[in-house]
Amino acid sequence: MNAKLLRQFIAVAEELHYGRAAQRVGIAQSPLSQAIQRLEAHVGTPLFLRNKRSVSLTPAGRVFLEEAHQWLRYERIAVERAQHAAGGEIGQLSIGFIGSAGYGFMPELIGRFRERYPQVSLRVVEMTTKDQLEQLKGRSLDVGMLRTPLPQEGAMIRTRLYQYDRLMAALPMQHPLAGRKRIALRQLAGDSFVAFSRDKVPAAHAQLISACATAGFHPRIEQECAQVASVVCLVAAGLSVALIPSNLASLIHPKVRYIPLSDDTAYLRQEISLAWRRDDDNPALASFLEAARPLSVSAR
């Protein structure tokens, strides 16, 4: 059974004339008749009633004609889907993102990609930079939106910078400096800090320590969290102060004030990048990276 034989059967079934059917499929009448006989032997029942004057379908032949059309339709769909998959137009893509990216370029990028490639199934999960790296290396994630630079990028992971963001202070509403329009980081030297987890978000944790060291003090870290919402909640509880990306100022909490920092230092600047495996040959990933290219820092 093959597509060629099914097309020959369909030609005979629709023409009900071996001569016209043979001309339609481009072979002589005798080989066509022999092919139909082999098909009937394979099916195990006659598909045509033949006499010297006419050819007609048997009840089994009418059912087989419907199935033959379906078979060829599935073959055509399979070929088309394979071609679309090779072009990155359909398929599956697993995407990780850190929470702060959701207030940056991530919504625009996902929306742009969804509009251009609606048949690609997306799995989008918030997770820390460390978890994204582990899942990228474990091949359960195709692309991540995470903090850079990475501690050990190595030869396996590629990154592309997409967003710079400056740190700001998050203070409890009752903090003595909460009413200021701008403060220097050094003014928080006597406060306890809630930091992003050293284990889960090492880049953000290290940045807090570096920024404070540049300002002339070592931060007293009393709380650690993996998610930015948890950091804001602990600040709201009055337990600590924090440094968070300024694009999160829209994450309003009635008991938290966000204050810009006057310090002029590169240590207050954060990077968020796309990361993916160098050897990932998923065509949907290539389409995603192409859709993302105009949003990168270098493209602006």
What's the rounded mean pLDDT across residues 241-262?
A: 89
Q: Is residue 23 part of a domain?
A: yes
Do 216 and 277 reside in the same domain of the chain?
Answer: no
* pLDDT bracket for residue 246 (50, 70, 90): confident
Give the best-scoring range by mean pLDDT among 63-72, 167-176, 200-209: 167-176
pLDDT at 179: 93
Same structural domain for residues 52 and 62? yes
Do 44 and 99 have their domain in common?
no
- Give the model confidence (pLDDT) of 59-98 as tens digits: 888 898 888 888 878 777 666 666 656 665 668 899 999 8
138, 111 contact by CB (below 8 A): no
- Please tell me whether residues 265 and 181 are part of one structural domain: yes
**In a domain? residue 300:** no
Has residue 152 got a pLDDT over 80? no
Whether 299 has a pLDDT exceeding 70, the answer reads no
244 in the same domain as 170: yes
Number of domains in the chain: 3
> Does residue 204 share a domain with residue 253?
yes
- Reported as a single tens digit per residue, the pLDDT across 229-245 is 889 999 999 989 999 98
Pair 97, 170 in one domain:
no
Asked if residue 52 and residue 102 are part of one domain, the reply reads no
Question: Residue 233's domain spans which residues?
Answer: 166-269
Rounded-to-integer distance, Cα 75 and Cα 72, Å: 5
Domain assignment present for residue 245? The answer is yes
Average pLDDT over residues 213-242: 92
Among candidate residues 87, 105, 123, the one where a domain is terminated = 87
Q: Do 205 and 64 fall within a single domain?
A: no
Together in a domain, 23 and 40: yes
Output the average pLDDT for the chain.
Answer: 87
